[in-house]
Amino acid sequence: MAQAQNKTGILLTNLGTPDAPEAPALKRYLKEFLSDRRVVELHPLAWQPILRGIILNVRPKKSAAAYRQVWSEEGSPLLAIALRQTAALCQFLHQQGLGEVPVELAMRYGNPSMESVLDRLMAQGLERIILLPLYPQYSASTSASTFDQLARVLMARRNIPAIDFIRSYPDEPAYIQALANSVREYQQEHGEPDRLLISFHGIPRDYADKGDPYPQDCATTARLLAEELGLRDEQWLQSFQSRFGLQEWLKPYTDETLKKWGKEGLDHVQVICPGFSADCLETLEEIDEENREYFLHAGGKRFGYIPALNDRADHIAALGGILLRHLGVV
């Protein structure tokens, strides 16, 4: 068992981030991200002229301004938190007697690239890679895209390792418990709201209609979290955020829901985003700033954003438990 474990490495992945909160860096990042056929399914002959001719000439400046609002001395919040998660998981596995199992972080888009990180892992003579995308809910646009990229990187290699792909973990008990813990701790300090909004990143409605199971995974997580918290149906709602373009996305929309609640006279709402394993632009700027303003401007009085699980000890233990099972330890 020890010898097999010593030949196994763990590759954590997340979506990615620009190298700097500046328009040129955003243009590079958005070009890679929005050229992924898993993200935008339009045929390149139709999509690329729009992307290169309009979007990449307009959106980078606007996105850079948003990133500057959340950038810190550590750099991108997503990357800084993901690196802390990686270090914490290394420590967790070491405490389990698995100090020889390397844990590395790669981003699907941007840096550190999957190719460079895989080179580092394979230089250690590994025969097996456990790939854990840090997306609790599966979607073709995130989890499957990560697997696609790993396959593309491996195409250049003659001798490839065995791959264990952890597809998703929307109903992992320890993950649900960590979410519930974070809600309870936040509410001990800030009080209980009139309603809890459980917001997930959206995908186009058409993707779900074609068979993407993402809506079901999100519904599973939201239901289990509400049950763990003992919430009645009228005390919570699931919604979807971060839509892009003119097509219909999964509903209800987070921003429209918060505007509606403000107009209906709800005084106090709190929002949690269980699909984000680390705080990033979509939580820190879109939810805690932009959507906060929507609710308050519509008449709401108190808005609370419950932070992502980040490198909380119970989150690291939940992820570590998943890895231990794949390592054959438990």
Contact 252, 236 (CB under 8 A): no
Can you spell out the DSSP letters for 85-149? HHHHHHHHHHHTT-TTS-EEEEEEEESSBHHHHHHHHHTTT-SEEEEEES-SS--IIIIIHHHHH
> In angstroms, rounded to a whole number, what is the distance separating the alpha carbons of residues 224 and 227?
5
**Fold match flag (2-169+313-326 vs 173-306):** yes
pLDDT for 4: 44
SS3 250: coil
Contact 138, 86 (CB under 8 A): no
Q: Which amino acid is at 309?
A: L
User: Which residue's entry shows tokens 């879109």?
Assistant: 286
Can you spell out the DSSP letters for 11-59? EEEEEEE-SSSSHHHHHHHHHHHHT-TTT--S-HHHHHHHIIIIIHHHH
Sequence-distant (≥ 6) Cβ neighbours of residue 235 within 8 angstroms: 195, 196, 226
Q: Which fold has domain 173-306?
A: Rossmann fold (3.40.50)
Q: Which residue, among 110, 146, 111, 112, has the nearest Cα to 129 in the 3D structure?
A: 146
pLDDT for 49: 97
Residue ranges per structural domain of the chain = 2-169+313-326, 173-306
pLDDT for 99: 82
pLDDT for 154: 95
Sheet harboring 103-110: ordered strands across? Answer: 103-110, 8-17, 128-133, 162-165
By the 10 Å C-beta count (0-12 exposed, 13-18 middle, 19+ buried), 53 is classed as exposed
Q: What class is the 2-169+313-326 domain?
A: alpha beta
> Could you tell me the pTM of the whole model?
0.95
SS3 191: coil
pLDDT for 6: 58
Q: How many helices (H) and strands (E) does the chain have?
A: 14, 8
- Low-confidence stretches of the chain (pLDDT < 70) are 1-6
> In angstroms, rounded to a whole number, what is the distance separating the alpha carbons of residues 282 and 242?
7
